[in-house]
Homo-oligomer: A and B are copies of this chain.
Amino acid sequence: MWRYEHELDVRFCDCDPLGHVNNAVYLSYLEAARFSWWRHVFGADGFTANGFIVARIEIDYRRAALPADRLIVRLKIDTIGTSSFGIKYEIANVRTRELIAEAKSVQVAYDYTAGRSIPISTDLRARLEAAL
């Protein structure tokens, strides 16, 4: 069901005075997985040719992650529109397998040179569909 996985270690500085990972940092974990997947699909310079901007994120926090936890972020393409596409994620603890968070993000295909959103290209659509 999930189409890509990315593992990472919780850094001490990812955690706040409550002792667990700060809620903003989970979005960096989503980004790390998304960035890794994008490079996997499009190559190291894929972002230049196939840029996007993040338009929306929603995240449900299920359980706290702690310093030195190893996490896995799983993702798959959720929806593909004319100029936007959705990604669904889950973050789990590698050792305990407990679910840490669930999230969705909406991306808009974007031409960074022109500074405006663009339709999803045929090539991009094909690659996104492969990850549905």
Contact = CB atoms under 8 A, between A and B. Distances in A.
Nearest to A55: B61
Copies of this chain, how many? Answer: 4
A50 interface: no
A13 B31 contact: yes
Given A16-B16, A56-B60, A61-B54, A23 B32 contact: no
A27 B13 CA distance: 10
A9 to B, nearest CB: 7
A18 B53 CA distance: 10
A8 B18 CA distance: 22
Contacts of A22: 12-13, 28, 31
13 contacts: A13-B22, A13-B24, A16-B17, A22-B31, A24-B25, A24-B27, A27-B27, A36-B68, A44-B68, A53-B61, A54-B61, A56-B58, A57-B57
Given A24-B24, A35-B68, A44-B68, 8 more contacts: A12-B35, A15-B16, A16-B17, A23-B27, A23-B54, A24-B27, A55-B61, A56-B59
Interface of A: 8-9, 11-13, 15-19, 22-28, 31-32, 35-36, 39, 44, 53-61, 67-68, 112
